[in-house]
Amino acid sequence: MADFHYSVDGDGVATITWDVPGKSMNVMSFDGLKALGAHIDDALADEAVKGVIITSGKPDFAGGMDLNVLAEMGKAGGDNPAQSIFDGIMDTHHLFRRIERAGMDPKTLKGGKPIVAALPGTAMGIGLELPLACHYIIAADNPKAKIGLPEILVGLFPGGGGTIRLAFKLGAMAAAPFLLEGKAQAPKKMKAAGVIDEVVAPDQLLARAKEWVLNATDADLVKPWDAKGYKVPGGAPYHPAGFPTFVGASVMVNANTWGVYPAAKALLSAVYEGLQVPFDTALKIEARYFTKLIMDPRSGAMVRSLFVNKQALEKGANRPDVPDERVSKVGVLGAGMMGAGIAYVSANAGMDVVLIDASQEAADKGKAYSTGILDKGMKRGRVTEEKKAEVLGRINATTDYAALEGCDLIIEAVFEDMGVKAEVTKKAEAVIPETAIYASNTSTLPITELAKASARPEQFIGIHFFSPVDKMLLVEIIKGAQTGDRAVAKALDYVRQIRKTPIVVNDARFFYANRCIIPYINEGMRLVREGTTPALVDNAARLLGFPVGPLQLVDETSLDLGAKIAKATKAGMGDAYQDDDVDEVVFWMVEQGRLGRKANAGFFDYDEKGKRQGYWKGLGDRFSPRNEQPELEEVKNRLILPQVLEAVRALEEGVLEDIREGDVGAILGWGFAPWSGGPFGWIDIKGAANVVALCDDLEARFGPRYKAPQMLRDMAARGDTFYGAAAGQAA
Ligand code: NAD
């Protein structure tokens, strides 16, 4: 069955309906492009056809391009993938250009057939690039629909003509939020921004499209850039008005990307150069930059982790084969910072929530957290009064464990204390159904140990959230020694319900994410202790693509928490503990009352509103800056390698079972350099042998924490990559 259907009505209006069989959302494939092209050619060749409506047979128009198409294009090119990708993109440009010119005389620009895009709902990526090539875009007034070009968010840019068309249509300045930030909005807002032309009531969509087709004049079909003397709004790059835009945009791109994301820069270059030449040449420039981007290993890594593998994990790539375990009633024990957030995301996803704390006051306070988020949403127009009432109505804040009756999932988030946790486990299990799954949100206590308090350890699991719960996208699921498949399935189904991304790991100290974050923070402290300036430490991290440097990060999470974890870890590890030098910094900071943001004093000074004011000068009194600072590259290596090596060790030890989880988890969990695709992607880009050489050098100079894991050495010896090996295994 084809992705597009074609029909012509009695008035000579052809309708091309996009309706990919077996999918709830249209995505563009190779075959789809071919089918669309064939229908366009039919319509243009058929004298009985007066004009064309392109619409969808689904509630939405399209979700975008099937990104595998790009990979296929590359593979089809054999040893010249770039040429093959470029040719493939140019084929799409030619097709969209055929739509745009619609058979008109190239000189007089007369005699074309009107082609209108009628969008019933969401239209993203190529789902907007195709409409932008039509003569008119009408969208149904559907406030839930999103229209936009989100490619930049996965490390690409719109390469189906969308970059050039939007820049020519709106001007570089007005197009910037859509292109550089991937801003997607509801139809009415996109109409106001000038991206689409008209918004109508959903039941009027096709009738209005037909009316437009039947009344369109020759002039309606001529795109501004095809008309003589068109001047781009806001001015071309060398126009006095346009010039500052590009200076500003260049600054903005570099400020936001710290020079590590190739997509934003390539996009800006395509627009800058494209706006100086005729439209068809501009499309060719877009295709060249797009090809270059696709060939950049960073783009491949980002698409792989942020799109392909993230989706695969969300769809349950590692879910055991047991029946549906969706949650209907969840009990949340502990209504503190985490419990309150967990209650909110659960109720917001439609589950009934029992939120328990030791006092009614604490339980109510936990529920009030949801009220606060919903109120904010209302102020921004995103939440209605009914929605607020509905979500709050689902949360029963109480001290009464009997209310847990009928819960099919418990998530415990009481104090981080073995005894307290064991006690609430017993109290809850006395009430909940025998089939219920019990999860702990602990960040440091072993799940296997906690499960000892449970009468049903195979139904006991870790569901580890990150703070703030409503914002952080990752949830780490931890299997204890006895955790069974149904518990894993329940946790995964729950995470899917709250629309977050899960990774499943085995029980070990700090699980996966925290295990890798701690060495990152620790290395930042060590650098400070050696006399490296704090700005060099944090900026090196930013230049690696991390959202925040280690010192800023520890200010956010607080130094006393660091001290607490250090003490507990030391007690647990005994002689094997290797971080006494780090503790020197941490404990001294705590002694000085420099606890971080919460104390308005940490590595940074803060004003009374909590705004960072620059690094605290007092640090230099104790750890005076060295006259000769280390090279930037060395600081970068010292910050990224400890995290990467910890990820490899986690894999080697079987804590991680799947490199996809290690990579996706790293980006979503602690912002690991997204351009690299994650720690395993980073090694693949660098080459295992180079990473081993780096380890050997740093180990010799800084100690055993840089020792290359055997797995990495073996890989270097074989000349393997992680993803190459994974593909080999899958095959
Ligand atoms: P919190 O101190 O803010 O909240 C704990 C809540 O549990 C308090 O409201 C307390 O009154 C309640 N409580 C204590 N004993 C109880 C009992 N017997 N019955 C019912 N309620 C009881 O702590 P938090 O930051 O929300 O952390 C909770 C759990 O989540 C801990 O295990 C922590 O390790 C884990 N965690 C925290 C973070 C974080 O960033 N804070 C992140 C991930 C996991």
pLDDT tens digit sequence for 141-180: 998 999 999 999 888 999 999 999 999 999 999 999 999 9
Q: Which amino acid is at 183?
A: K
Whole-model pTM?
A: 0.88
pLDDT of residue 109: 94
Question: Is residue 140 within 8 Å of residue 187, measured between CB atoms?
Answer: yes
- State the pLDDT confidence band at 4, using cuts at 50, 70 and 90: very high
358 Cβ below 6 A of ligand 1: yes
| Residue to mutate (ligand 1; options 440, 441, 450, 598; most atoms within 8 A of CB) | 441
476 Cβ below 6 A of ligand 1: no
Report how far residue 249's alpha carbon sits from residue 238's, in angstroms, rounded to the nearest whole number: 14
Residue with tokens 């990979």: 71
Nearest ligand 1 atom to alpha carbon 366: 9
Nearest ligand 1 atom to alpha carbon 442: 32
Q: How many residues does the chain have?
A: 731
Report how far residue 704's alpha carbon sits from residue 695's, in angstroms, rounded to the nearest whole number: 9
- SS percent in the chain: helix, strand, coil, step 5: 55, 10, 35
338 Cβ below 6 A of ligand 1: yes
Contacts of residue 714, Cβ cutoff 8 Å, sequence gap at least 6: none
398 Cβ below 6 A of ligand 1: no
pLDDT surpassing 90 at residue 284? yes
Pairing, β 474-479 against β 501-506 = parallel
The CA radius of gyration of the chain, in Å to the nearest whole number, is 28
In this prediction, what percent of the chain has a pLDDT beyond 90?
Answer: 90
Coil, strand or helix: which one is 612? strand
Question: Is residue 453 within 8 Å of residue 421, measured between CB atoms?
Answer: yes
Helix (H) or strand (E) holding 449: helix 447-450
pLDDT of residue 272: 96
Distance 484 CA to ligand 1 centre (A): 25
Going from the C-alpha of 492 to that of each of 320, 413, 465, 684, the distances in angstroms are 9, 18, 13, 29
Nearest ligand 1 atom to alpha carbon 359: 11
Nearest ligand 1 atom to alpha carbon 420: 18
Q: Going by CA atoms, what residue is nearest to atom 30 of ligand 1?
A: 413
pLDDT of residue 49: 97
- The secondary structure of residue 618, as a DSSP letter, is T
pLDDT of residue 580: 92
Give the chain's mean pLDDT: 95
Question: Is residue 518 within 8 Å of residue 565, measured between CB atoms?
Answer: yes
pLDDT of residue 731: 43
Q: Going by CA atoms, what residue is nearest to atom 4 of ligand 1?
A: 336
Q: Going by CA atoms, what residue is nearest to atom 15 of ligand 1?
A: 414
339 Cβ below 6 A of ligand 1: yes
Distance 354 CA to ligand 1 centre (A): 16
Question: Is residue 109 within 8 Å of residue 225, measured between CB atoms?
Answer: no
Question: Is residue 393 within 8 Å of residue 348, measured between CB atoms?
Answer: no
- State the pLDDT confidence band at 727, using cuts at 50, 70 and 90: low
CA–CA–CA angle 283, 284, 288 (5° rounding): 120
Nearest ligand 1 atom to alpha carbon 557: 40
pLDDT of residue 138: 98
Nearest ligand 1 atom to alpha carbon 417: 32
Distance 337 CA to ligand 1 centre (A): 7
Distance 358 CA to ligand 1 centre (A): 11
pLDDT tens digit sequence for 553-590: 999 999 999 999 999 999 989 999 999 999 999 999 99
pLDDT of residue 597: 94
Distance 572 CA to ligand 1 centre (A): 22
DSSP string for 326-376: --SEEEEE--SHHHHHHHHHHHHTT-EEEEE-SSHHHHHHHHHHHHHHHHH
Contacts of residue 689, Cβ cutoff 8 Å, sequence gap at least 6: 716, 719
- State the pLDDT confidence band at 71, using cuts at 50, 70 and 90: confident
Q: Could you give the residue numbers annotated as active site?
A: 464
230 Cβ below 6 A of ligand 1: no
pLDDT surpassing 70 at residue 728? no
Strand partners, 699: none
472 Cβ below 6 A of ligand 1: no
pLDDT of residue 729: 60
pLDDT of residue 537: 98
Question: Is residue 519 within 8 Å of residue 554, measured between CB atoms?
Answer: no
pLDDT tens digit sequence for 645-668: 999 999 999 999 999 999 999 999
Pairing, β 115-119 against β 51-56 = parallel
Nearest ligand 1 atom to alpha carbon 339: 26
- State the pLDDT confidence band at 499, using cuts at 50, 70 and 90: very high
Distance 27 CA to ligand 1 centre (A): 43
**For 108-123, what is the mean pLDDT?**
97
**For 490-517, what is the mean pLDDT?**
97
716 Cβ below 6 A of ligand 1: no
Going from the C-alpha of 305 to that of each of 469, 668, 673, 674, the distances in angstroms are 22, 10, 12, 8
pLDDT surpassing 60 at residue 477? yes
pLDDT tens digit sequence for 222-272: 999 999 889 999 988 888 888 888 888 888 888 888 888 899 999 999 999
364 Cβ below 6 A of ligand 1: no
| Residue to mutate (ligand 1; options 332, 333, 338, 410; most atoms within 8 A of CB) | 338
pLDDT tens digit sequence for 381-400: 889 999 999 999 999 999 99
Domains in the chain, ordered, with CATH? 4-303 (3.90.226.10), 329-508 (3.40.50.720), 514-730 (1.10.1040.50)
436 Cβ below 6 A of ligand 1: no
pLDDT of residue 242: 84
Report how far residue 8's alpha carbon sits from residue 71's, in angstroms, rounded to the nearest whole number: 35
Report how far residue 280's alpha carbon sits from residue 217's, in angstroms, rounded to the nearest whole number: 24
196 Cβ below 6 A of ligand 1: no
pLDDT surpassing 70 at residue 93? yes
**For 96-118, what is the mean pLDDT?**
96
Report how far residue 619's alpha carbon sits from residue 537's, in angstroms, rounded to the nearest whole number: 14
Distance 451 CA to ligand 1 centre (A): 18
Distance 400 CA to ligand 1 centre (A): 18
| Residue to mutate (ligand 1; options 357, 420, 511; most atoms within 8 A of CB) | 357
pLDDT surpassing 70 at residue 340? yes
Coil, strand or helix: which one is 510? coil
**For 675-691, what is the mean pLDDT?**
97
| Residue to mutate (ligand 1; options 332, 333, 337; most atoms within 8 A of CB) | 337
